Amino acid sequence: MAMAALRREGRRFATPLISPNPANVFRSSLIPSEEPVLSGVRCISTQVVRNRMKSVKNIQKITKAMKMVAASKLRAIQTRAENSRGLWQPFTALLGDTPSIDVKKNVIVTISADKGLCGGINSTSVKISRAMHKLNSGPDKENKYVVLGEKAKAQLVRDSKKDIELVMTELQKNPLNYTQVSVMADDILKNVEFDALRIVYNKFQSVVSFLPTVSTVLSPEVVEREAESGGKLGDLDLYEIEGAETKAEVLQNLTEFQFSCMMYNAVLENATSEQGARMSAMDSSSRNAGDMLDRLTLTYNRTRQASITTELIEIISGASALEG
């Protein structure tokens, strides 16, 4: 009798576990765990916002540090750029600046930075260079690029790879000086045939502004031809040549020195504009990070308050149910 009673009790307790509808069993087993899942979701969302706030704070620290570094470099190089303007101004007074002169062989010297995060300074140089290339194109004309800087190289190599004659990078790896730039200018003059060298760079005006500029250096042959034809360089024959050098030799030396001086000024002006643009860009980034941090803080506080409010409602509801 006792064994029969135990078997009956066992079947009575086992019957709900072997339900013909398993979904009911699974649903009933999931119901008690709904609260931990919901609270877990609230904790995860708050943690995501907290992690995002931490990331934005770290980015803001980096941009502020980069702004300070750019400001320090700007002060160091701005004075040298302003002093270098006195090197090329006598050549402009003597030979003039003839950007509209029509020649067959044009070489566009595009000066850019090796690094980014400095606004649109590099894109501006590339756009001006492409416009110069298109403007001087023709059936009997030849246009080539000499690229200084990694950023201009990356953009021009996409659609003008066959026109790139020479590439130089890492200009600011060491502090810029006239000796370094004159060696670069000598390499360009030896490896490139030209009638006109058109230097494209950004002239520094202030921390928040720069002026895209094109300077033209003519070959000795073109200078002599223009002087003989009585064009814009006709007054060059009024000067007397002393010593044993011929006019062609004087013009050759004058062209080389003019190009090196203008290159030195252009590289310094572009480097100063780069640091000014980077300083301005990092300042804007720091402000944007601060605004984003304020919005994330507001979102975090709202999410946390909603979580606390929901938990209080659940506690009060549970207490009321127990009392009832």
Query: Within a domain: residue 177?
Result: yes
Q: What is the per-residue pLDDT for 111? A: 95
| Mean pLDDT score, 148-169 | 92
Query: Within a domain: residue 179?
Result: yes
Query: Out of 49-58, 235-244, 283-292, which region has the weakest mean confidence (pLDDT)?
Result: 235-244
Query: Within a domain: residue 45?
Result: no
**CATH at residue 212:** 3.40.1380.10
Beta bridge partners of 197: 107, 217
What range does the domain containing 171 cover?
Answer: 80-235+244-278
Query: Within a domain: residue 174?
Result: yes
| Mean pLDDT score, 18-40 | 40
Residues with Cβ within 8 Å of 287's Cβ and at least 6 positions away in sequence, in order, are none
Q: How far apart are CA 105 and CA 215, in angstroms?
A: 16
CA angle 126, 128, 129 (to 5 degrees): 60
Our count of domains for the chain comes to: 1
Is the per-residue pLDDT at 279 higher than 70?
Answer: yes
Is the per-residue pLDDT at 70 higher than 70?
Answer: yes
Query: Out of 85-94, 113-122, 263-272, which region has the weakest mean confidence (pLDDT)?
Result: 85-94
Q: What is the per-residue pLDDT for 18? A: 39
Q: What is the per-residue pLDDT for 23? A: 40
Query: Out of 55-59, 105-109, 251-255, 290-294, which region has the weakest mean confidence (pLDDT)?
Result: 251-255
- pLDDT tens for residues 99-147? 778 889 999 999 999 998 898 899 999 999 999 999 888 888 899 999 9
Exposure class string for 89-116: b at 16+ Cβ within 10 A, else e? eebeeebbbbeebebebbbbbbbbbbee
Query: Within a domain: residue 97?
Result: yes
**Over the chain, what is the mean pLDDT?**
82
Query: Within a domain: residue 118?
Result: yes
Task: Name the burial class of residue 156, with classes exposed (0-12), middle (13-18) and buried (19+) by CB atoms within 10 angstroms of its CB.
Answer: buried
Q: How far apart are CA 32 and CA 35, in angstroms?
A: 7
Is the per-residue pLDDT at 259 higher than 80?
Answer: yes
- pLDDT tens for residues 39-58? 444 445 788 889 999 999 99
Answer positive or negative: Cα dihedral of 84, 89, 95, 99.
positive
Query: Within a domain: residue 250?
Result: yes
269 falls in which pLDDT band (50, 70, 90)?
very high
Q: How far apart are CA 230 and CA 227, in angstroms?
A: 5
Is the per-residue pLDDT at 16 higher than 60?
Answer: no
Residue 299 CB coordination number (10 Å):
15
Q: How far apart are CA 144 and CA 148, in angstroms?
A: 13
- pLDDT tens for residues 182-204? 999 999 999 999 999 999 999 99
Tell me what percent of the residues of the chain surpass a pLDDT of 90: 45
Of 208, 207, 201, 231, nearest to 218 (Cα)?
A: 231
Query: Within a domain: residue 178?
Result: yes
